[in-house]
Amino acid sequence: MVLEFAHSPLITFIVGLVMVVVLLAVWDLPAFVGLAIAAFSVGLVNAVFVGDFTFGDAAAKTATEFGNGMAGIGIPILMAAIIGKSMLESGAAQRIVRAFQSVVGKGNSDFALWGSSAVLAIPVFFDSVFYLLAPLARSMRARVGKNYTLYIVAVGAGGATAHVFIPPTPGPLAVADEIGVSLGITMLIGVAVAIPSAAMSGLVYGRWINSRLTIPLRDTMGTTTEELKQRAKRDMDSFPGVFESVLPILLAVVLVASFTVVDGLKAWYPSLSTIEPAVAFIGDKNVALTIAAIVAALTYLRWSDLSRSVWEDELTEALKSGGNIAAITAMGGAFGAMLAASGIGTYIATGLKEVGIGLLVTAWLIAAIVRIAQGSATAAMLTTAGIMAPLASQLAVHPAYLVMVIGAGGNICSWYNDSGFWLVKEIGGLTQAETLKTWTVVTTLISVTGLVSVLVLSTVFPLA
């Protein structure tokens, strides 16, 4: 029994867990350094216990996964740094915040952020939405003078919920395809599950934790707290108009969503295939956020009294901040990838496959444990979908509910091995403890509320 445990992926998971806790929480090393040491250490454990994993792989694969992470988020984060800096410094973010408040009232600002995040995250990746809306949450806090905990939770909850429940977001889209469920019914059930999940995690929990945890504004993304507070006091005449202020966000969302729309409609409208190559280019998040960054930066130049050389220096400072955030986020993903390389996902999923509980709960449990062990929500969802797809015919309810519980399980407990954890922490300007109390709890509430919602809906409306 001892020998079997020593050669199981569980030892890798335990080593990784201990390493990140000691390095980041106890010794308080810089996040990038601590995550790099933890990733290399997990790689060394893999080299000892995983058959086709060598000591050379411990270094090379960590570097490769870090590079893969930077390829995915490097340009978007750097461009988001420019967008955030430009929108905050030009007054565009304050203009949007005041427009929100004029519609929903000052006391309901969290509803505006929550709803915007949820809607925007349906056609766009969660990370892109968070890049764009976090500056608004910071500006809202500067304007109101309190409630930053609530605002950052509202933005995170809205986007994260759509990310795992509502196609055409890639995760639920891939799971629906694996299980063989029609996209239309999956979207309808996804909305039905997402609403209570987002409300519980973003509004109910957001207001509860906001009354118990005060998160101050901190300097991040190249903008100081003092600058934010000064802009919050300025007259409306010194800000760009509403359309010019919101244009970078609209451009990013519309451009990224354009490829999703064209790709989805070309089966019915073959003529769209002629523009698909162009849309694939401008709809790539790297290009879309670059275009949005250019527009935001030009607005910043127009609405500031800076010389061009000083303006360029300010953008360079934003890029320095964005580079640090990108490095930490990518290394967090590399750490999770090293855990996944141990085979922990398959190990857990195989062990739970025959658990004698209902299929929906079994799927949720498999996805949840795989997610906690290896960090990636998408990987947990796809791993679970591959295992549960052959069993979908045994369900007494519509298989779209299976897609939902897999998404719910895959979203649980974002922590140190999830790049999203570091994204929220760094862009939001939070400490590790604050991120655990907000973002980690939010993702867990989304997961549990999603499971409960599915169980209730599938009982009342089995649709079988």
163 vs 221: which has the higher pLDDT: 163
Token pair, residue 259, equals 């490829």
Nearest to 12, CA basis, from 371, 337, 362: 337
pLDDT tens by residue, 237-282: 778 888 998 898 888 888 888 877 787 777 787 877 888 889 889 9
CB 352 within 8 Å of CB 366: yes
> pLDDT grade, residue 342 (50/70/90)?
confident
Bridge partners, residue 348, by sequence: none
* Number of CB atoms found within 10 A of residue 265's CB: 11
Average pLDDT, integer, range 382-395: 82
Cis peptide before 196 (omega within 30 of 0): no
Query: What single-letter amino acid sits at 185?
Result: I
pLDDT tens by residue, 395-447: 889 999 999 999 999 999 998 988 889 999 998 999 999 999 999 999 999 99
Buried (b) or exposed (e) across 18-34, using 16+ Cβ within 10 A? ebbeebbeeeebebbeb
Query: What single-letter amino acid sits at 334?
Result: A
> pLDDT grade, residue 30 (50/70/90)?
confident
Cα–Cα distance measured from residue 332 to residue 23, given in angstroms and rounded to the nearest whole number: 13
How big, in percent rounded to 5, are the helix, strand and coil portions of the chain? Answer: 80, 0, 20
Place of tokens 């766009």: 124
SS3 4: helix
CB 333 within 8 Å of CB 69: yes
Nearest to 72, CA basis, from 425, 421, 330: 330
Whether the pLDDT of residue 355 is over 70: the answer is no
